[in-house]
Amino acid sequence: MKKFSWPVRVYYEDTDAGGVVFHANYLKFFERARTEMLRAMGYEQDELIVSDGIIFAVRSVQVDYLKLARFNDQLQVSAEISLAKKASLTFEQDITRGDDVLCKGIIRIACLDALTMRPKAIPEKLLEQLK
């Protein structure tokens, strides 16, 4: 899978009193791009729970905040898999406004059994598409 990009507009609810995006909301933007990437590949996360008994959970996050995003900005949020293992994925993600990189993240996602919450292998068909 190549680099995926998803547009996000900054709403008032995403900002603090100064009109600047609250730091934790960048993680929400990253999440949206990862979800839309899976959706573009034909996978809905709620369907993966039913059909394969798996969920994806964030294991770790490393974020660098480089520049501010503000109310009403139009952003692009990328998602690219840099490492796909049997039961985990590592995403490299960027949030940009035009040519400006505002935020960079490395997010590690674990695949878990939906019932036991223990690590579970990513279904082979999905894993092959992600590589």
C-alpha span between 123 and 48 (Å, rounded): 9
Tokens 């035009």, located at residue = 98
φ, ψ of residue 50 to 5 degrees: the values are -75, -50
16 catalytic? Reply is: yes
From the list 16, 52, 73, 94, the catalytic residue is 16
C-alpha span between 125 and 108 (Å, rounded): 20
Using an 8 Å Cβ cutoff, are 43 and 116 in contact? no
Angle at alpha carbon of residue 82, lines to 35 and 121, rounded to 5° = 65
Residues 58, 2, 76, 8, Cα dihedral to 10°? -60
Residues tagged active-site: 16
